[in-house]
Amino acid sequence: TERQLQCWFRRRRNQDRPILIKKFREASWRFVIYLCAFIAGLVALIDKPWLYDLEEMWKGFPTLTVLPSQYL
């Protein structure tokens, strides 16, 4: 009957929807990865003088040197 078809399609559609805990897990992993990347960036920059004083960033502007710690 038409009612059974509607119920079947509704159940089928709901099977494809991710459940709430799955969404939460994916969002949590993404948050952890971005947080780790942000902290790693801060750790790499924390000892640089131009992080705290922007005038340090522009000293010797046309010929800026790259510190050995900035190479990957």
Residues 7-52 have pLDDT tens digits of: 998 888 888 777 888 889 999 999 999 999 999 989 888 888 878 8
Provide the pLDDT for residue 52. 84
The residue whose two tokens read 């509704």 is: 10
Buried/exposed code over 2-18 (b: 16+ C-beta within 10 A; e: otherwise): eeeeeeeeeeeeeeeee
DSSP state of 31: H
Q: Is residue 60 part of a domain?
A: no
* Domain carrying residue 20: 2-52
Using CA atoms, how far apart are residues 25 and 33, in angstroms rounded to an integer?
12
Provide the pLDDT for residue 72. 63
Average pLDDT over every residue of 54-70: 78
Q: Is residue 17 part of a domain?
A: yes
Q: Is residue 71 part of a domain?
A: no
Provide the pLDDT for residue 62. 76
Output the six-digit token pair for 32.
Answer: 């952890």
Provide the pLDDT for residue 64. 74
Q: Is residue 42 part of a domain?
A: yes
Q: Is residue 57 part of a domain?
A: no
